[in-house]
Amino acid sequence: MPGVPADSNVMKITQKYSGLSFAGRMVVCITLIVGLVVSTTTFVIMQERNQSQFRVIFERESQGAVSAVRQGIDFYLNMLRGLSAFHEASEEISRNEFRLFTADYLERSKGIHSVQWLPLVANDQRAQVEAQIRKQGFQDFQFTQRNKDGKLVKADVRPKYFPRIFDE
């Protein structure tokens, strides 16, 4: 073959099969094609099988994580529902009742570090609520906010407030 060194592998293969008849060459070509088709088909089948197995394993293992997340969310939702029912069932909640009610939740919860009660207080109820809290032993209690320097100061007058009454 022109341009191909005489000792190259291509030359050797060409010389080996150059003496074959047309039928012999067809047998070699068909054998190569069949080999390629079988190899490709086997590869595709094995790839699909591996992906299917991976999908099954992933779904099985992820169900545990999904279940754990759902249980955690359900725990916190049940806690909120319990606090809401406690509030609705009580005319007035004392500091001690709030502490007793929330203690178990805080003990069992890894994700909640405090529970606070911040009731909605209209401006016309502000003075009354501040007076009630002062009667409970917090003589300096007043609605507060942070100023530009980050210091707590008396809250400005506004239509509504969410004072932190209980913090456990």
Q: What is the DSSP-derived secondary structure letter of residue 141?
A: -
Higher pLDDT, 21 or 145: 145
CB contact at 8 A, 98 and 124 = no
pLDDT at 139: 92
- The pLDDT-based confidence of 84 (bands split at 50, 70, 90) is confident
Lowest mean pLDDT among 6-20, 44-58, 67-81, 119-133: 6-20
Average pLDDT, whole number, for the chain? 86
Burial class (CB in 10 A: 0-12, 13-18, 19+), 117: middle
CB atoms within 10 A of CB 111: 7
The torsion angles phi and psi of 7, rounded to 5 degrees, stand at: -95, 10
- The pLDDT-based confidence of 120 (bands split at 50, 70, 90) is very high
In the predicted model, is pLDDT for residue 18 greater than 80?
no
Nearest to 117 by CA among 167, 51, 59, 47: 167
pLDDT at 42: 93
Which token pair is 16? 């080996």
Which token pair is 40? 């490709």
d(CA 85, CA 109): 19
pLDDT at 159: 96
pTM metric for this prediction: 0.54
pLDDT at 5: 58
Nearest to 168 by CA among 92, 89, 79: 79
Classify the C-alpha dihedral 29-35-37-43 as positive or negative: negative
pLDDT at 7: 58
